[in-house]
Amino acid sequence: ALTPPEKIWFNGQIRPWFEATTHVLTHALHYGSSVFEGIRAYDTPAGTAVFRLTEHIDRLFDSARIYRMEIPYSKEDIINACKEIVRTNNLKQAYLRPVAYFGYGGIGIVPGPETPVDVAIAAFEWGAYLGEGTQERGVDVGVSSWHRLAPNTMPTGAKAGGNYLSSALIAREARRHGYAEGIALDAQNMVSEGAGQNIFLVKKKKLYTPPLTASILPGLTRDAVIVLAKQLGYEVIEQSIAREALYVADEIFLCGTASEIVPVRSVDSMKVGSGARGPVTHAIQKKFFGLFTGETADTHGWLEPVENP
Ligand code: PMP
C-alpha cells in the first residue's frame, strides 16, 4: 500500500497530497487519455539521484506527442519539478510518477481547446514491485491468454494510461492462476513483455530479448541491461522469440523501473534452469544495483542528482 507523502506537484504548484484532485468528468478518466512515467530515485553515496530522469521525461513527451497532447511545460520544467518534489518530501529514495492528461472540459472523444492538459508529479516510497525477496528468490510467471496490443491498434511505444487495461488483464489473469506476473505474446504470437516489465532470456551465456517491433514498451531498464550486459562481455541479441524458448531457457529475468531486475524461476509451472536465480542474471543485477551503491561507475551520466549542483 502507498504511504502518502506530504506534498505533490500539481499544475505548477506544490500542493498538499490530498488536494491534488480532479473532476469525475475528466477526459482521461473516461477515455484513458493520459501519458505517464515511472521513475526511480536512489539513495547513492553522492546523494539522492534520479535514474535516467531526462530520458524518462523525453519518453513522456514522446508519448504525449503521439497523442497530439501539448504538455504546457517545458521538459526542463518537468525535470526540475521531479527533483523538487523528491526534495520537498524529504525522500532519500523514491518512485516518481509524472502524469499528463486531458482534464475537465469537453466530453467528446477529441479533446478540444476547452479541455486542459493537467500535469501532476507524485513521489513516494515504493518497495520491490513484485514483492520483497523476489529479486533474490525469483518469481513464477505464466504465459497469458491475453496478447499485447497489435501494431496499429494502440501504440505500445507510448506509455499511455489506456495501454494499462491490457496490462491489467494480463496481470490479473496471472495472479488468478497463482503467478506473480503474466508474459504476453504479441499479435504474431511471439514473446512480447510482462504486464509492466520487459523480458530477457539467457541461453548458453547469451542474452535474448524481443525487439521493439514486438509490441513492447522500449524500457529504459531494458536499455540499461543491454548496455551493462555488453560491458560485462555478454552478447545481447534482440530478436523475435518463440513461446517455446521460454521453456528451454537457462535463465529468464524481467526488468522495469518498478520491478528493477527480477529472476523468473518458473514459466507455466516449469522450472527455468535450476529454478533459482542464475549466474548471468545475478551478474547483471550486481552491475545494475552497483550503479546506486557506487560499485558500478556511472559512465553514461544516468544518475541525475536531485540537489542542483
Ligand atoms: N513494459 C511495460 C508495459 C511497462 O509498463 C514498463 C514499465 N514502465 C516496462 C516495460 C519497463 O520500462 P522501464 O524500464 O522504462 O520502466
Say what the pLDDT of residue 2 is. Answer: 84
Name the CATH topology of 7-124. Answer: D-amino Acid Aminotransferase; Chain A, domain 1 (3.30.470)
Instruction: Identify the CA nearest to 141 among candidates 211, 246, 218.
Output: 246
The catalytic position among 7, 75, 83, 159 is: 159
Any ligand 1 atom below 6 A from CB of 198: yes
Residue 40 CA to ligand 1 center (angstroms) comes to 12
Residue intervals of the chain classified under CATH 3.20.10.10 are 134-293
Any ligand 1 atom below 6 A from CB of 156: no
- Per-residue pLDDT tens, the chain, 309 aa: give them: 788 999 999 999 999 999 999 999 999 999 999 999 999 999 999 999 999 999 999 999 999 999 999 999 999 999 999 999 999 999 999 999 999 999 999 899 999 999 999 999 999 999 889 988 999 999 999 999 999 999 999 999 999 999 999 999 999 999 999 999 999 999 999 999 999 999 999 999 999 999 999 999 999 999 999 999 999 999 999 999 999 999 999 999 999 999 999 999 999 999 999 999 999 999 999 999 999 999 999 999 999 999 975
- Please tell me the distance from the alpha carbon of residue 63 to that of residue 160, in angstroms, as a whole number: 7
Name the CATH topology of 134-293. Answer: D-amino Acid Aminotransferase; Chain A, domain 2 (3.20.10)
- Is 82 within 8 Å of 308 (Cβ atoms)? no
Residue intervals of the chain classified under CATH 3.30.470.10 are 7-124
- Please tell me the distance from the alpha carbon of residue 4 to that of residue 130, in angstroms, as a whole number: 20
DSSP string, 132-193: TTHHHH-EEEEE-SSPPPPTTTS-TTS-BGGGHHHHHHHHHHHHHTT-SEEEEE-TTSBEEE
